[in-house]
Amino acid sequence: MLIRRTELFGAGIADVRIDAGIVSAIGDLTALPSEEVIDAAGGLLLPGLHDHHIHVAALAASLTSVRCGPPDVNDAEAFAARLRTSGTGWLRGIGYHESIAGMLDAATLDRFVTQRPVRLQHRSGRMWFFNSAGLELLLSHGDAPPGLERIDGRYTGRLFDEDAWLRRTLGSSPPSFAPVGSALARVGVTGLTEISPTNDAAMGRHFMHETRSGALPQRVLLAGSLSLSHGDTGGKVQLGPAKLHLHEANLPDLDTATQFIRHAHDADRGVAIHCATEVELVYALAALRDAGVKSGDRIEHASVAPDDAIEEIARLNLAVVTQPHFIRERGDAYRTDVEAASQRLLYRQRAFLDAGVTLAGGSDAPFGHYDPWAAMAAAVDRRTQQGAIIGASEALAPEEALDLFLRVPDALDRRRTIAVGVVADLCLLDRPWSRARSALSSACVRATFVGGVRVFERDSEREPRKTA
């Protein structure tokens, strides 16, 4: 395949040949006999984008779930309308936030739905709400887990941090990843870091099956439990860091966290530590100081980052994976819920880069939208949905925002480029960067290639194949 007249960053217009899944030549090239030719017409050719923080199984499930929170649902009336969805069996909702109709319980949900079981996931991903029919169905399968809240001898319908139990109880198996693979390909994503802390050998086998079958065309860096090993991965699936998911309300003792980090390092794995609050970030840095830092250690989210924590992250040479689109998606709630003096600390970007910290971007889908271009736009303008600006001094230039998704997945301090000999995981835009940088929209994505194979194409018009 020959991609003709494409723009390469810093190298002007060139032709790019792909052969056996590899970029084999760059320059002023002549089409070979029967070679397919794509005329890029000056459109930018990028390394395929990589989502550095995503939950694939949860995203696959969410695509068939009812959205019950911002920005789709913003008040109790709209919430009630969503729950009136017709059907039988479980009604599964996602994205709920207490700003809609308060902190839910079974009695509250029963006012909306009584004839079918309901389970709603809080947008944090840590909590499920069940109506009475849902509770009855769950408890008919066995004893309640510790995370099922009980007050005065009665279950409230709130389930905390028990996803593994819930899957076993419901007899759930991992869903097909084909809808996720298709959706990500449409926005130019050729690789992803699956970051769920419970990922184990069984999930590793499922990812290998989905990538080998082509259902999930993207390459995968699979993070997860300490039990994961290289034997659980293969093909397009590569072993990633061990995930330590901190919860401020229930932090482990420091020795336990330190041992987790040391065990990961002994297995030649980095750690990815969830830090959604300032307390979690301070705790994570203390654990890393005690355990020692290894190349590949990273902080997930760093949602609230004071200056001294940023200095410590830089000193420890840690990478940070951020979600700039949360300023867009959740910013209006932050302006209400977060003290004004602390809002400047939310999802910082410029401060990290100025301190010399490696910064990468991830969607946290389904808890945020999976479109990396929307995240780039939010990184540049820092605007909420209602147009307010949070942390204007943290804004990035479009080139810096794009760079968040061009990092090498298992070496975030390096940037992927297009060069002879590299794997042809590519994203072709329909316009040059001079125009794309002001749009930062997935509508600019014309085609996506993984290993030289076209996995998405928006423009069906191709230059006719040439013969020499």
Q: For the segment 308-343, what is each residue's pLDDT rounded down to a tens digit? A: 999 999 999 999 999 999 999 999 999 999 999 899
Q: Please state the separation of Cα 236 from the chain's center in Å.
A: 18
Smallest CA-to-CA distance from 263 within 283, 238, 243, 234 is with 243
Per-residue pLDDT of the chain (468 residues; tens, 9 = 90+): 999 999 998 889 999 999 999 999 999 999 999 999 999 999 999 999 999 999 999 999 888 888 898 888 888 999 999 888 777 788 889 889 888 989 999 999 999 888 899 999 998 888 999 999 999 888 887 788 888 999 988 999 999 988 888 888 887 778 899 999 999 999 999 999 999 999 999 999 999 999 999 999 999 999 999 999 999 999 999 999 999 999 998 899 999 999 999 999 999 999 999 999 999 999 999 999 999 999 999 999 999 999 999 999 999 999 999 999 999 999 999 999 999 989 999 999 999 999 999 999 999 999 999 999 999 999 999 999 999 999 999 999 999 999 999 999 999 999 999 999 999 999 999 999 999 999 999 999 999 999 999 999 997 544 444 433
Q: What is the pTM of this model?
A: 0.88
> What pLDDT shows up at residue 406?
98
d(CA 175, CA 155): 29
> What pLDDT shows up at residue 464?
42
Smallest CA-to-CA distance from 52 within 242, 193, 218 is with 193
Q: Can you read off the two tokens belonging to residue 214? A: 């082509």
Q: CB of 60 within 8 A of CB of 441?
A: no
- Tokens 């086998």 locate to 205
Three-state DSSP class for residue 424: coil
Q: CB of 82 within 8 A of CB of 71?
A: no
d(CA 313, CA 403): 20
Smallest CA-to-CA distance from 169 within 126, 198, 147, 140 is with 140
Conformational region of residue 229, where left means phi above 0, alpha means psi within -120 to 50, and beta covers everything else = beta
User: Residue 110: how many CB atoms within 10 A of its CB?
Assistant: 16
> What pLDDT shows up at residue 88?
78
Residues in a beta bridge with 456: 448
> What pLDDT shows up at residue 462?
45
CA dihedral sign, ordered 118, 122, 128, 131: negative
